Amino acid sequence: MIDVRDLHVRFGEVEAVAGIDLSAEAGQATALLGRNGAGKSTTMRVLAGVVPPTEGTVLVGGLDVARDAISVKRLVGYCPDVGGLVPLATPWEHLQLIARLRRIDDWETRSRDLLERFELGDVSHRVTSGFSHGMSRRLSVVLAAFHQPDVLLLDEPFDGVDPIGVDATLDVIADARARGACVLISTHLRDLAMQACTTAVVLRGGARVASMASCELEGEAGADAYRALLD
């Protein structure tokens, strides 16, 4: 479902991603791990069609991101790492925008259901600029998962989220996997990543340094192995 070969992304003289290879399958959840600045969020942005690759091949659902970004965007649901919400729009308006642009019929029932599951039903008609960080993160996950995308990209979905929000996010990931979607999660919370994912890819300095089954990073031994990969 996701096939990345020798991806490079440069911003001027800064090389944010320096030759990443990555693949992720349908029905699986893959954790993207690494230190700050390892290239996780930039890779996610490329997969979401937001940032074009400087070099390399990026296929999402068989479509080349560089050539057909709009079609890729139709397949993908993306929760960005920062903000991700239009400040003076309400959650309902965000969902209405998705429903309109993605041609979703009968969207209101699913909207209400998701907002309730993430405990955002009470604020669905308030602008998001007044939201706490955790509320914003929860809504970003709702927006990414709302249209049941084939590829679900969640960048730091658990950051600052309370346990109920974490559970709701884990449910969304499980639902996506159950219907055959490919899920990619970038996070610094290793335990939650291991709980949600089947495989893990570790990035360092803009390149992949390891790819393994998530169970290999569980427990104390897993933590030591992870630290060793980061240094």
Q: Are 159 and 170 in contact (CB under 8 A)?
A: no
Size of the site for other proteins (CB under 8 A): 43
Judged by CB under 8 A, does residue 52 bind other proteins? yes
Q: Which is nearer to other proteins, 20 or 139 (CB)?
A: 139
- Rule CB under 8 A: which of 74-113 touch other proteins? 74, 76, 78-80, 82-90, 92-93, 96-102
Q: Which is nearer to other proteins, 85 or 181 (CB)?
A: 85
Q: Which is nearer to other proteins, 142 or 200 (CB)?
A: 142
Q: Which is nearer to other proteins, 92 or 162 (CB)?
A: 92
Candidate ranges 19-27, 120-128, 179-187, 197-205; the one touching other proteins (CB under 8 A): 120-128
Whole-angstrom Cα distance, residue 156 to residue 27?
Answer: 20
Give Cα 6 to chain centroid, integer Å.
20
Judged by CB under 8 A, does residue 59 bind other proteins? no
User: At 189, phi and psi to the nearest 5?
Assistant: -90, 90
Long-range contacts of 133-136 (CB under 8 A, 24+ apart): 133/159, 133/160, 134/160, 134/161, 134/162, 134/165, 136/83, 136/84, 136/85
- Rule CB under 8 A: which of 122-181 touch other proteins? 125-130, 140, 143
Whole-angstrom Cα distance, residue 193 to residue 185?
Answer: 7
User: At 224, phi and psi to the nearest 5?
Assistant: -65, -40
Binding site for other proteins (CB under 8 A): 11, 45, 48-52, 66, 69-71, 73-74, 76, 78-80, 82-90, 92-93, 96-102, 125-130, 140, 143
